[in-house]
């Protein structure tokens, strides 16, 4: 079989994964803009929900502050164990 060289013509394939990994500056900027816009909409929506007096009253009845105080010793213990 020596002496038989098989050459395949070069063909350019554009797969979806290749298009996603090859970014130019414009595409990456657009993705970042979409991500920041989504985060801004989430924060704005949470603000609208929390500004409702019924939601505030409900969260006051649950005692959200008490929940955070109960979780702080566990978080402190976790951080101490992590630093060891």
Supply the pLDDT for residue 8: 60
Q: Residues 50, 56: contact at Cβ < 8 Å?
A: yes
pLDDT bin (cut points 50, 70, 90) of residue 62 is: confident
Question: In degrees rounded to 5, what are phi and psi of residue 67?
Answer: -65, -45
Alpha carbons within 13 A on the beta-carbon side of 30:
6
Structural domain contains residue 42: yes
Structural domain contains residue 53: yes
The helix (run of H) or strand (run of E) holding residue 26 is helix 25-50
Domain count along the chain: 1
Structural domain contains residue 13: no
Question: In degrees rounded to 5, what are phi and psi of residue 49?
Answer: -65, -45
Q: Residues 55, 49: contact at Cβ < 8 Å?
A: yes
Structural domain contains residue 49: yes
pLDDT bin (cut points 50, 70, 90) of residue 7 is: low
């Amino acid at each position: 079989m020596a002496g038989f060289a098989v050459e395949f013509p070069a063909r350019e394939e554009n797969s979806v994964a290749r298009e996603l990994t090859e970014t130019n500056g414009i595409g990456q900027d657009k993705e970042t803009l979409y991500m920041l816009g989504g985060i801004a909409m989430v924060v704005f929506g949470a603000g609208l929900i929390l500004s409702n007096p019924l939601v505030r009253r409900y969260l006051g009845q649950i005692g959200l502050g008490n929940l955070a105080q109960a979780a702080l010793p566990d978080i402190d213990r976790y951080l101490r164990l992590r630093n060891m």
